[in-house]
Amino acid sequence: MKRPVEIAKGVYSVGCRDWDLRDFHGYSIYEGTSYNAFLILGEKNILIDTVKAKFADQLLANISEIIDPKEIDIVISNHTEMDHTGSLLRVMHKIGEEKPVYCSKMGKKNIKSHFHRDLNFQVVGTGDELKTGDRTFSFIETKMLHWPDSMFTYLKEEAILFSSDAFGQHYSGDEVYDYEIGDAIMPHAQKYYANILLHFSPKVQALLKDVAKMNLKIAMICPDHGIFWKDNIAQIIDAYDKWSKQEPAERALVIYDTMWESTAKMGRAIARGVESENVKVKMMNTRRWHRSDIITEVMNSGAVIAGSPTLNNNIFPVVSDVLTYIKGLRPQNKIAAAFGSYGWSGEAVKYLNKEFEAMKMEIIDDGIRVQYVPEKKDLDICFDLGVKIAKALKEKCQK
């Protein structure tokens, strides 16, 4: 659909699609993304958020199709990460640098730190309102969802929640609304949650409860990335509730890498053991899967089984990379076990267990080490570990 698009009376989506992006600061994306920004016309014309710096001209061109950018009276910055403020100074230069910028206290600090200059900041917090003619904008601070400055803006009369990164998806398509793409958007939303918000799941739980208490009527949720939630608002809120609860799931994930196939053979035997108990299992080789896809599977799995050969007295570097990434996103409620082959020193399993300990995962076995190439008896032990993991997982899920 042609942009800009009027999504409610006098409310326009004026952001930009980044069709070609495949790497968003280390998060792999397969279908581009969008940087959504919103122009709301009224007694005061208001712009909510801007876009990545390189799309500034396109944003201004989109706005110019509706009004002269100089007619913008106020900018609201829901979030200061550069994909939403990268073109802020260009916009301010165009509309008039004296115009007010509404943002949270931390938003002001961040914008000043990014650009090393002052603007006409109007600091707002939860419960504050901006009334302009027949429009009312309420602000809800959402600290650490996912930055300290993050906030939502709620346009009362249209019941639109401008939710910044929350409920977003890295997806760039022709669609504007959820009903145009249907369930196919959910994997994008899920991967987005796993990579951006999983770390902050307790805060997501608290926010969902706070917003429920506010009894907000919500006709549409407009995140800063991807499609807008209109027909399936309950679906995405329920999904956030589920993902943020991090309840154990009856699925096991084998993350591994291998030098000469020995660790891979061990992993496959463990996976067969898991399956023999009718528990779902998936194997992900760390050189075949991107870390941002692996964390999405970690989020959906109750058991994380990591395998690594020993290389230079340590964990194989790619496995280490993935575990570091997983650790940063703090998945909860996982059981864990390690395995790996080695030639002469064999430290990898010990270090894998240390990583699990650091992640507060429940290690259910000391782990299996096999020197050089596993033989049948070794693979039988691996199979038995798979059975043990599956049984432990079923027990945990039934609690």
Chain residues that interact with ligand FEO, rule: CB under 6 A:
79, 81, 83-84, 146-147, 165, 224-225
25 is catalytic: yes
Contact 227, 178 (CB under 8 A): yes
Q: Which is nearer to ligand FEO, 167 or 383 (CB)?
A: 167
Name the residue number minimizing CB distance to ligand FEO.
81
Q: Where are the alpha helices (DSSP H) in 65-104?
A: 82-85, 88-95
CB hemisphere CA count around 13 (13 angstroms): 26
Q: Which is nearer to ligand FEO, 190 or 314 (CB)?
A: 190
Q: What is the Cα–Cα distance from 98 to 11, expressed in whole angstroms? A: 24
What is the nearest approach in angstroms of ligand FEO to the Cβ of residue 167?
Answer: 12
Q: Which is nearer to ligand FEO, 147 or 325 (CB)?
A: 147
238 is catalytic: no
Given 35, 192, 256, 325, which residue is catalytic? Answer: 192
Contact 58, 16 (CB under 8 A): yes
Given 25, 116, 174, 183, which residue is catalytic? Answer: 25
Given 18, 49, 83, 297, which residue is catalytic? Answer: 83
C-alpha torsion sign, points 93, 97, 102, 106: positive
79 is catalytic: yes
49 is catalytic: no
Structure-token pair, residue 375: 């033989």
Q: Which is nearer to ligand FEO, 21 or 381 (CB)?
A: 21
Instruction: To the nearest 10°, report the CA torsion of 110, 112, 116, 117.
Output: 160
Q: What is the Cα–Cα distance from 218 to 6, expressed in whole angstroms? A: 18
What is the nearest approach in angstroms of ligand FEO to the Cβ of residue 156?
Answer: 24
List Cβ neighbours of 395 (8 Å cut-off, separation of 6 or more).
none
Question: Measured between alpha carbons, how far is residue 367 from residues 311, 356, 395 in Å?
Answer: 17, 12, 20
81 is catalytic: yes
Given 18, 149, 165, 178, which residue is catalytic? Answer: 165
Q: Which is nearer to ligand FEO, 35 or 339 (CB)?
A: 35
What is the nearest approach in angstroms of ligand FEO to the Cβ of residue 273?
Answer: 41
Given 84, 170, 188, 225, which residue is catalytic? Answer: 225
Instruction: To the nearest 10°, report the CA torsion of 88, 93, 98, 100.
Output: -20
225 is catalytic: yes
33 phi-psi bin (left φ>0, alpha ψ -120 to 50, beta other): beta
Q: Which letter does DSSP use for residue 227 in this model?
A: P
Q: Which is nearer to ligand FEO, 34 or 45 (CB)?
A: 34
What is the nearest approach in angstroms of ligand FEO to the Cβ of residue 96?
Answer: 26
Q: Which is nearer to ligand FEO, 164 or 341 (CB)?
A: 164
What is the nearest approach in angstroms of ligand FEO to the Cβ of residue 324?
Answer: 20
Q: What is the Cα–Cα distance from 358 to 171, expressed in whole angstroms? A: 33
What is the nearest approach in angstroms of ligand FEO to the Cβ of residue 23?
Answer: 14
Contact 16, 55 (CB under 8 A): yes
Given 18, 49, 81, 355, which residue is catalytic? Answer: 81
Given 146, 170, 188, 290, which residue is catalytic? Answer: 146
What is the nearest approach in angstroms of ligand FEO to the Cβ of residue 194?
Answer: 15
Q: What is the Cα–Cα distance from 194 to 201, expressed in whole angstroms? A: 10
Could you give the residue numbers annotated as active site? 25, 79, 81, 83, 146, 165, 192, 225
